[in-house]
Amino acid sequence: MPPIVELKDVHKSFGPVAVLKGVSFSVDKGQVVAIIGQSGSGKSTALRCLDRLETIDSGELRVCEQELSGKDVDLRALRRDVGIVFQSYNLFPHLTVAENIMLAPRSVKKMGRSEARQLAADVLGRVGLADRLDAYPEQLSGGQQQRVAIARSLAMQPKVMLFDEVTSALDPELTGEVLKVIEKLAADGMTMILVTHEMEFAQRVADLVIYMRDGKVHESGPPDIMTNPSTPELRRFVSAGQ
């Protein structure tokens, strides 16, 4: 089976600033990949390229069997296959939790109202919020809102989920409940790429850890590399806790 995600020598600049300087890695179905690294190392940019929120300058990029290096990309198919969750939850405040989740299935998949509501109930169950269908986002904690954002992604039945520092804005106790949801998705076999600062979590949940530094994959391997780094840079990074 071909990888779900494959990057080969991907380059990306913003104006004169080279941000990705030849990034290569691949992710197989069911794998959980954690991307770690200092702020500014290109983690978010790499993730955004996978959902074509950014285009790449050169190299090869395939996601869910689509070639994203060229111009001819079926964005609808890509956005259906790839779920992305950010640090900010971006829920519509004037819509209930159910309505937020129903939006994309209704508009993209042309799903009927009652079917979409049932789907919302199902995915909310998966994030432990089955009873908050009719709540408004402001009635929920930050951790609960982030779980709704994850449920909203799940409603599109993505083949791969991307998480960009989804707990960075949360207090420690709320962080825990969101990580628990992600861990459960991993146990259920979801293919995931997580950009995270949660080192213990990455070590426990990931199959592959990628340490990015200065726009490149500086070191990658099984989670053991975090306790046993080969490079002095990763050693410094993990020992500093960041």
Binding residues for ligand ADP (CB under 6 A): 14, 17, 19, 37, 39-45
How far is Cα 127 from Cα 154, in angstroms, rounded to an integer? 10
Task: Encode 51-80: b = buried (16+ Cβ within 10 Å), e = exposed.
Answer: bbebebeebebbbbebebbeeebeeeebbb
Give the one entry of ligand ADP, Mg ion, none that residue 191 binds, where binding means its C-beta sits below a cut-off of 5 to 8 angstroms depending on kind.
none
Interaction pattern, residues 196-235, with Mg ion; x per rule: CB under 5 A: ----------------------------------------
Q: Are 19 and 13 in contact (CB under 8 A)?
A: yes
Report the alpha-carbon distance of residue 148 to residue 153 in Å, rounded: 9
* Closer Cβ to ligand ADP, 159 or 216, answer by number: 216
Name the segment binding Mg ion (CB under 5 A); options: 43-51, 109-117, 147-155, 226-234.
Answer: 43-51
Q: Which does 19 bind (CB under 5 to 8 A by kind): ligand ADP, Mg ion, none?
A: ligand ADP
Query: Toward ligand ADP, which CB reaches closer, 39 or 239?
Result: 39
Residues 6+ away with beta carbon under 8 Å from 208: 25, 27, 31, 32, 33, 34, 220, 221, 222
> Considering CB under 5 A, how many residues would be counted as binding Mg ion?
2
Is 44 near Mg ion (CB under 5 A)?
yes
- Nearest distance from C-beta of residue 44 to Mg ion, angstroms: 3
